Amino acid sequence: MKPYIASLLNALVLISLGAWSYFSSESPSITALIPVIIGVILLFLNKGIKKENKVIAHIAVLLTLVILIGLYKPFMGAIHRESTIGVVRVSIMILFTLIAFLSFIKSFINARKSKS
């Protein structure tokens, strides 16, 4: 999968599931909007990723890694609360973020190989 497509899908998943999580919570926390904010930023970066702008791609992969690491605590919290829907929501966000991250890495490796 091309990185800009993976990143676009990831951004849409982060925005939609992050917003759903925030608005469906009985006691919403502002930190639940972090995936939404990062998703919006990734959405804005997507045009640069598609044009293969190296700086924008590196910013996007850094944000993708940050959100991938950042989703660990909400995942563990959902497991601790025994919230099946919470576990599913965060698992989907982790899955799409991981796919986008691996897509970026594969793209970087292929670019490096084509230079040689």
What pLDDT, on the 0 to 100 scale, is given for residue 27? 84
For 21, 37, 39, 82, 101, the CA distances from 44, given in Å and listed in that order, are: 22, 11, 9, 35, 17
In the three-class reduction of DSSP (H, G, I as helix; E, B as strand; rest coil), residue 1 is classed as coil
DSSP state of 28: -
What pLDDT, on the 0 to 100 scale, is given for residue 39? 98
Give residue 88's identity as a one-letter amino acid code.
Answer: V
Give the structural domain span for 11: 3-115
What is the model's pTM?
Answer: 0.93
Asked if residue 29 has pLDDT above 90, the reply is: no
Task: Note the pLDDT tens digit of each residue in 56-91.
Answer: 999 999 999 999 999 999 999 999 999 999 999 999
Q: What mean pLDDT value characterizes the chain?
A: 95
User: Among positive and negative, which fits the CA dihedral 39, 98, 71, 65?
Assistant: negative
- Domains in the chain: how many in total? 1
Task: Note the pLDDT tens digit of each residue in 51-61.
Answer: 999 999 999 99
Which one has a higher pLDDT value, 78 or 25? 78
